[in-house]
Structure formats: structure tokens, C-alpha cells
Amino acid sequence: MITINIAKEFSTTPGARYKADGPFSGEEFREKLLEKHFEDPNSDYEITIVLDGTEGYATSFLEEAFGGLARKYGKKICLKRLRFVSTEESSLIDEITGYMQDVEN
Amino acid sequence: MEPPQYTGVAYIRKEHKYEIPVPEVFSLVTNVDEMLMFYKTIYAYAQEKKGIFLDMSKIRQISVDAILYTISVFDHLEKSLHFTKFGGNFPNDEYTHQVLLQSSFFNYVKANFKFDPDDSDILSVKSGQLVRGKVAQQVINFGKAQLGRVGDASTRSMYATLIECMVNTGHHAYEKRLPNWKWWLMALPDRDKRKVHFAFLDNGRGIPVTVRKNFRERVLQLFGNTAMDSRLIQSTLEGEYRTRIKNKWRGKGLPKIYSYSKNKLIENLRIISNHGYVECDNDQSMELRDKFHGTLLYWEFV
């Protein structure tokens, strides 16, 4: 199992959806910190994402990071392997799960 | 263009300029009709290429939204009409005078003097094109400090709101970027520091133009019917599928901001875009007689 703390390993000020939108986008986060764990289809270790410690999250960041991951690698494997921790804004967990479940694949 | 029926305009023949009185209530959120008539008047006289002198002496009430929109109008006139012959005076009211000075308003409109804001109780206008999380963080920290809520995590929704606004400016779910897109942002506490007023303005084509419309709406708009602008804004806020891009996962930003308003995480949210004006707290809306160029979001942090 590994843990990714967004505030510590990426940014306390996450941006929007695409890299073209500005720094610390959901796309950038997915490419830099998430995708490497999904490249090997045989990997099945759990990944815990710590959401606390940032200023907050735009929907576009979350959707592109996690919905985008599900579009690329399949929602089943993403839902199975990702765990989320948020004490500051617990509703984010359902929101992110919803984005992954909405993916059609 | 025929100048609109705005009272008090005087032509100073020897100086080749029009003197236009600025509304006493210099606020779009509380005085939208008069304010839009005022801006329309500026546009009309700017076409004549004579000077324009703004008489601000009688302003007795000022709000952040009007400061931002005036800056954007000046910016547009300079870039589209190459019109820069503006002048003006200061408000007699000391508080209003200070707000304008400390907001950096005069620097943005390229007044013939420079002023470095030095009042920590007034956040000067921020401007940009891309999403800038650090700016959003700075604005929120200002709001928290003003209300004595440092360390308060309840502002997370406000951070998200600011980021959604910034991204909607140039590359939002409804259409591609405009070449000269820009956003402006400002925060200002009440005199008694019970709430902080926020305004975010972009100079895009406006929500009613850029959202997906059904056949009937397209036909109505084609014939210049703008009586549905507030309804288009409202339905976008309510999450009706209006993104023009075929990806259904886009276009969640405005509905999310609306949900923050409904859950009282941000207060008194108002949206003005083109001919539409929506008060989100009570879902009241109206159609504006004169056009507002771009999209303004105004809210309060209590």
C-alpha cells in the first residue's frame, strides 16, 4: 500500500482541469503522481489519497485527476485500488467516487 | 450610436470633452439598471472620439463589482476602440475615495498618477488569464484575516469557487478560449468587518451566449430575443446539460458554485451575464434592459 498526500507531494493550491489552464491542474497531478501506479496491469496494491491540507478543490481538478484516471485505466480497477482520506471535507470522497462511477467503460 | 437617455451629461466645448456623472450608488448588485445605462453612455460618447470626464464626486456608495466592471470597460475601450481619453475626479466621500485608491483602480485605468496600495484592510484588484491558485489563496487569507477566522477550514468552498471562476473565464465547458480573455477579482470588507464582499468578473461572451441551447432557444436568440438570458443562467446553475463539448463530465463548475450558495457556504451569490441577472439565494432573476459584457459573480463571506 502507498499513500499520496496531495498537499505535501503536489500542491496546497490545486488548480483546474488541464495543464493549459494553469499550474497544479488535475491533469498534471494524474500524470505525475497517479498514472505510474496503474501502468502495470498486474499491480493491485492499494493507494490512499490524502485530500486534507489544501485550500480546497475545484470540481474540474477532481474530475480530471480521478475521472480521467478511470477513463484511461478503467473505473473498476480505479475504484478497487484507490482509497481516500478527508477529515476537512468528507463530502469530497463521495464526489470523487461519483466521478469515477460515472465513467462509461 | 445614439447616446442613451442618461441624465446630467454635459459637453465642455472648449475642452472637447463630455462630462458624465457617475451614479451615486456605484454598485451593479444594488443599482444595476442605472449602472448599465451609465456604461452604455460611456460607450456611446467614446464613439465620438472626444474626451470623457467622469465626475465621481457624488459617489456615496461603492461596491467591488462596479470597480471591476469599470476597469474592464476601460480595458475594452482601449483595446477595441483605441479610446484612452479619460479623465475624472475623486469622490467627495472619504471612504469611497480611499476604496478606489487602495483598490488600484486608478492604476488599472491608467490615471496620470501612480499609487501603491498600503491599506491592509482593502485587497487591491487582482487580474489574470490562467487559473492561479496562489492568488485565490491570498484572497481567501485576506477574507479570513478580516473576519478573524484564520485557520478556519470552512473557506474551502470559496477556494473552489474562485478556481471554477478562473477556469470558466478562458477555457470553460461551454466553448473555446477567446483571444483577449481576462479576469479581475477583488475583495472588500464591510466598514464594520462583519462580512467580506467578493466579486469575480470575466470579459468573455457571457453564459447565455456560450451554453448549449435547444432549437427553440437558438431560434429566439437568432432573432435577438434576449429575454431568456436569466433562464439560461438559472438552468446552467441547476446542472441542466448545457456544455457544448460532447463530454458529459465537463460543465460541473457553475452547478457546484450554486450548491455552495444553496448550502450557505457562500452568501448572497448573484450572477450577472449579458441580459441576465440571477440572485441565487432566493432564485429570483430578471432580464436587464442594457447588456452586461461578460460574466460577474458576486458573493459574501460572513
Q: How far apart are CA B248 and CA B243, in angstroms?
A: 7
- Residues B199 and B290 occupy one common structural domain: yes
Mutation target vs A (from B131, B254, B265; most A CBs, 10 A cutoff): B131
Strand ranges (DSSP E) for B119-229?
123-128, 183-189, 196-202
Q: What is the pLDDT of residues B118-168, one digit of tens each?
A: 888 888 899 998 899 999 999 999 888 888 877 667 788 889 999 989 987
| Residue B172 clears pLDDT 50, i.e. is over it | no
- Residues B296 and B149 occupy one common structural domain: yes
- B70 DSSP β-pair partners: none
pLDDT band at B245 (very low <50, low <70, confident <90, very high): low
Mean pLDDT value of segment B81-102: 90
Are A58 and B158 contacting, i.e. CB atoms less than 8 angstroms apart? no
Residues of B in contact with A57 (CB under 8 A): 156, 159-160
Residues of B in contact with A72 (CB under 8 A): none
- Residues B132 and B224 occupy one common structural domain: yes
Residues of A in contact with B136 (CB under 8 A): 13, 55
Domain stop point among B76, B111, B146: B111
Domain of residue B261 covers: 122-302
Residue B68 lies in a domain: yes
- Residues B140 and B87 occupy one common structural domain: no
CB count within 10 Å of CB B213 equals: 18
Instruction: Using a CB–CB cutoff of 8 Å, tell me whether B137 touches chain A.
Output: yes
Spatial CA neighbour of B139 closest among B160, B167, B114, B116: B160
Q: State the pairing for strand pair B17-21/A82-85.
A: unpaired
Q: What is the pLDDT of residues A92-104, one digit of tens each?
A: 999 999 999 999 8
- Residues B238 and B299 occupy one common structural domain: yes
- Residues B71 and B137 occupy one common structural domain: no
B187 residue type, one letter: A
- Residues B24 and B74 occupy one common structural domain: yes
pLDDT band at B174 (very low <50, low <70, confident <90, very high): very low
CB count within 10 Å of CB B10 equals: 12
Domain stop point among B87, B111, B135: B111
Domain stop point among B111, B133, B149: B111
Instruction: Using a CB–CB cutoff of 8 Å, tell me whether B133 touches chain A.
Output: yes
User: A23, B131: Cβ pair inside 8 Å?
Assistant: yes
Q: What is the pLDDT of residues A5-29, one digit of tens each?
A: 999 999 999 999 999 999 999 999 9
- Residues B203 and B255 occupy one common structural domain: yes
Q: What is the pLDDT of residues B29-62, one digit of tens each?
A: 999 999 999 999 999 999 888 889 999 999 999 9
| Residue A47 clears pLDDT 80, i.e. is over it | yes
Mutation target vs A (from B174, B246, B249; most A CBs, 10 A cutoff): B249
Residue B117 lies in a domain: no
pLDDT of residue B180: 75
User: B140, A55: Cβ pair inside 8 Å?
Assistant: yes
Q: Domain total for chain B?
A: 2
ipTM of the complex: 0.92
What is the four-CA torsion angle of A22, A25, A28, A34, rounded to 10 degrees? 170
Per-domain boundaries in chain A: 2-101
CB count within 10 Å of CB A9 equals: 12
Q: Among residues of chain B, what percentage have pLDDT more than 70?
A: 85
- B277 DSSP β-pair partners: B272, B286
Alpha-carbon dihedral sign for residues B256, B259, B263, B268:
positive
